[in-house]
Chains A and B, each alone.
Chain A
């Protein structure tokens, strides 16, 4: 009981801030989601629209496409980051010349603001000026133009995200790997387990909590990605990189459709929570359930 009181006492300064900057805006968006409100409409006043905005969403091809595109982006980006981050973490567990330098360089993207990352990649890839299209064309005869070819644009945003966030995964997994006990690995070697068996039956289960936490963080980040992509492609070409965050931004700001945009935000938040819960239930709760049995 005493521990609880101390905990609440320590949380006290944070709670009003959380309430003002978290709860109130959420409640506001919740209310607006049920309104028909566009400040440049014939009637610019807020009007209660029941669940009309949510009904519209179900039939909105552009919204559904953006949602699907975001899931695809999150899948490719997070999977690549986990795999690449794991191998880099394993690499940093070993000693090699220049390790410290390489680790520092590798971590640098983490400290760059997303908007600057987007700007950097734009300079790298802009057709007619960027070195990437120039050298790909000159050396390989490959026409690389992310403002024209939708697949190239999509995968460039994935690569940019991987470049930016893999260091986070590497550092997390490196910390986890460093803290693993040596005994199970020694025992497995004595028992004649090969490298894959050691990885599958010992390393992976021991790393599971760290991997899961990283997947949660990265997935939530990937689902709400806006600034990097806005800077790099503006959501184009066509709708190739118009991820849900960007789509909502366009509906709320240039289009000033506040009610509909709020409804989109709420549904996206709901879907993110459901997805995280499903991931948790599928990978963690199931294991706890088995243990209980």
Chain B
């Protein structure tokens, strides 16, 4: 590896990728696995129906029957979709790093900065436990405070994996609404915090601490390297998320089979004005991965819950969480924490009411 290789020159993709002799051995399995995936996926529904109605002898009209069929179809379907989505997303994410995002956002004041930060928040990969060092790293190289917040709100709220799961399960309209409203809340929250000029409400050590970003000397990644990373990502994320998913699907199956439609429509329908704040209140203490919420969302929508209410619920679960707030308290003084929570909550409520009004 050359001594002075720097990040931009090493990974911006402008150089031709050298063909590795190992490609067919290391990446060739994809050519077999992908068609197999589509064939299996296609036969999931007939298989679930066969299992529930023929093999187990349940009737489609019965509550147990429809709950079982929902679970038997949804569990493998969502897990398969998740694996495919994570493979693709992780592959793309090998081209993006928090360092590069930070350097792009540094010094970008104004609306454009908030907008860029919200979009980059979706795709920039980072472990949620590094939120604090990341926050400090951003602020210290000159990313404006409001822009940093747009990034921090968007990152958990618009989850890249959840986005493509929604696309696979509900189609592009719902996926677009999810991404669009999440981006809007992230954009607005950051913009408001920027306008309020709250820099002095950062804890003092944030600006005093010694930080000079290091240039990483990572070797250029080949296609096979990126594919390896993507497979590691699938193993890692699917391995971590599946209990949430199965729990979510079980709750979803229960709602699908047993929850009375009239009651659900009454509680979560658009006629009830209090349904949106209630959804937020229920959502905040629930701490789940965005992917785990989706099966519940699916069942709720099926039972006549209003779209705005469901969106508000989903956003509250992912964007406002107690553990994250406690962690952020290390770098934010109480007033900034309060403003952060208020602004995000108001944004979520607005989205909920807006969609209940227009859909």
Do A and B come from the same complex? no
